[in-house]
């Protein structure tokens, strides 16, 4: 037991160390570094989703709403009023919290598929609003973050990809830390109780509605923060990508479920598999078949849930246990 404990601390520490030194050998403007950036960002997004989707099994398919709110808030404030994204990020987080609160009133009492469908619909509503409220968002043509490399950190923009990379690494570690704190606290016990049996949880004193609400808001706030970081990294986005079902919402869920829902390192494994795989698929197939990736995500999600709902981490663990058992025998 002590051995697996040291392993579960040493291995992630090694991974973080590798992530810290990895970009030193890479082209600071290069393609590989950008892929690594996206991997870290989507890992962090998965981890934010994991708080409510993994620990409490509230399968949200609408997290793109929070992501987009974060991205649009900081970008609009910066573009039209010159407010630093360092401040805009908090506005986005606040608005996402409000949206989560309002959305929770009708949806948190829904179970299973109904919750998934309702959140999916909410994400779509956000997309439609962003597309049609042209005076605020710029509409379907998208929105650009004004380029001010001279403004330095205040504008949260950098000459190379490298500072972005470390920003994303920091965000990934921060969100993972928040997840770990939740997981190991009384809050985490309550979320797991909700996941396993909501009625029993209530009967032994868990205020299931409030616990789910708090988890949803925390998850939304973190997702919005990452939305701002994404906007500052991409410099341009439109409603259909930032509020995308396949590109954001389903991808967040898929990363977690593939890696291991409710597990600290689930999103780490999930993002490390999905993002490079997606890049490879895109470079082989090209962007000519645009709808294909959406279709592929849907299929992949269903296959993963059917084949191994506990994720790759549990696969790795049972393999390890089997090897151990063999050694002992």
Partner 1 sequence: MSGHLLEVRNVTRRFGGLVANSDVTFTVSPGEIIGLIGPNGAGKTTLFNVLVGIYPPSSGEVIFDGKSIGGLKPHQIAKAGLTKTFQNVALFGETSVLDNVVTGGLVNRSLTDARRFAAECLERVGIGAIAQKKAGDLSFPERARVEVARALCTSPKLLLLDEVMAALTPAEMEEIIELVRSLRDEGMTFIVVEHHMKAVMKLCERLIVLNFGEMIADGTPEEIAGNRKVLDAYLGANFSTQGEGH
Q: Count of residues binding partner 1 (CB under 8 A)?
A: 19
Minimum distance from residue 149 beta carbon to partner 1 (Å) = 48
The string of DSSP letters for 1-56 reads: -HHHHHHHHHHHHHHHHHHHHGGGGS-TT-HHHHHHHHHHHHHHHHHHHIIIIISS
Integer CA distances (angstroms), 306 to 146, 246, 297, 299, 311, in order = 45, 19, 14, 11, 11
- Cα 35 vs. chain centroid, distance in angstroms? 16
Q: Where are the beta strands (DSSP E) in the chain?
A: 143-144, 236-237
Report the residue count for the chain: 329
Q: Which of 64, 206, 217, 264 binds partner 1 (CB under 8 A)?
A: 206
Rounded Cα distance, 174 and 269, in Å: 17
Residue 199 is a binding residue for partner 1 (CB under 8 A): yes
Minimum distance from residue 203 beta carbon to partner 1 (Å) = 5
Cβ distance to partner 1 smaller for residue 166 or 209: 209
Cβ distance to partner 1 smaller for residue 186 or 280: 186
Name which of 40, 265, 223, 230 is nearest 119 in CA terms. 223
CB 260 within 8 A of CB 314: yes
Residue 205 is a binding residue for partner 1 (CB under 8 A): yes
Q: Could you tell me which stretch among 20-28, 48-56, 106-114, 186-194 binds partner 1 (CB under 8 A)?
A: 186-194
Q: Which of 18, 21, 203, 290 binds partner 1 (CB under 8 A)?
A: 203
Name which of 310, 54, 314, 311 is nearest 180 in CA terms. 54
Q: Could you tell me which stretch among 8-16, 43-51, 190-198, 214-222 binds partner 1 (CB under 8 A)?
A: 190-198
Minimum distance from residue 8 beta carbon to partner 1 (Å) = 16
Cβ distance to partner 1 smaller for residue 218 or 225: 218
Residue 186 is a binding residue for partner 1 (CB under 8 A): yes
Name which of 177, 207, 211, 171 is nearest 191 in CA terms. 211
CB 62 within 8 A of CB 49: no
Cβ distance to partner 1 smaller for residue 24 or 203: 203
CB 16 within 8 A of CB 264: no
Minimum distance from residue 258 beta carbon to partner 1 (Å) = 18
Residue 208 is a binding residue for partner 1 (CB under 8 A): yes
The single-letter DSSP state of residue 249 is I
Residue 200 is a binding residue for partner 1 (CB under 8 A): yes
Minimum distance from residue 137 beta carbon to partner 1 (Å) = 40
The single-letter DSSP state of residue 204 is T
Q: Which of 8, 196, 289, 299 binds partner 1 (CB under 8 A)?
A: 196
Q: Which of 190, 212, 214, 251 binds partner 1 (CB under 8 A)?
A: 190
Residue 193 is a binding residue for partner 1 (CB under 8 A): yes
Minimum distance from residue 54 beta carbon to partner 1 (Å) = 12
Binding site for partner 1 (CB under 8 A): 185-186, 189-190, 192-193, 195-197, 199-208
């Amino acid at each position: 037991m002590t051995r697996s404990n040291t392993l579960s601390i040493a291995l992630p520490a090694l991974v973080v160390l590798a992530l810290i030194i990895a970009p030193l050998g890479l082209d600071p403007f290069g393609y590989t570094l950008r892929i690594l950036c996206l991997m870290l960002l989507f890992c962090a997004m998965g981890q934010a989703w994991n708080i409510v989707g993994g620990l409490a099994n509230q399968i949200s398919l609408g997290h793109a709403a929070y992501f987009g709110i974060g991205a649009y808030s900081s970008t609009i404030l910066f573009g039209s009023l010159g407010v630093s994204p360092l401040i805009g990020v908090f506005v986005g987080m606040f608005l996402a919290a409000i949206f989560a609160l309002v959305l929770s009133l009708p949806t948190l009492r829904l179970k299973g598929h109904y919750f998934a469908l309702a959140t999916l619909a909410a994400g779509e509503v956000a997309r439609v609003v962003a597309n049609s409220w042209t005076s605020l968002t710029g509409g379907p043509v998208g929105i650009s973050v004004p380029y001010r490399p001279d403004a330095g950190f205040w504008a949260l923009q950098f000459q190379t990809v490298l500072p972005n990379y470390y920003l994303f690494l920091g965000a990934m570690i921060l969100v993972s830390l928040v997840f770990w704190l939740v997981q190991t606290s009384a809050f985490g016990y309550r979320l797991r109780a909700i996941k396993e049996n909501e009625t029993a949880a209530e009967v032994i004193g868990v205020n299931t509605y409030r616990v789910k609400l708090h988890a949803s808001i925390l998850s939304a706030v973190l997702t919005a923060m990452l939305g701002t970081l994404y906007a500052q990294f991409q410099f341009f986005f439109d409603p259909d990508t930032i509020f995308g079902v396949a590109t954001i919402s389903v991808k967040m869920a898929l990363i977690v479920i593939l890696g291991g829902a409710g597990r600290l390192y689930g999103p780490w494994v999930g993002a490390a598999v999905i993002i490079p795989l997606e890049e490879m698929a895109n470079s082989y197939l090209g962007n000519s078949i645009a709808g294909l990736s959406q279709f592929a995500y849907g299929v992949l999600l269903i296959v993963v849930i059917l084949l191994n709902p506990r994720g790759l981490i549990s696969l790795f663990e049972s393999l390890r246990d089997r090897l151990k058992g063999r050694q002992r025998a």
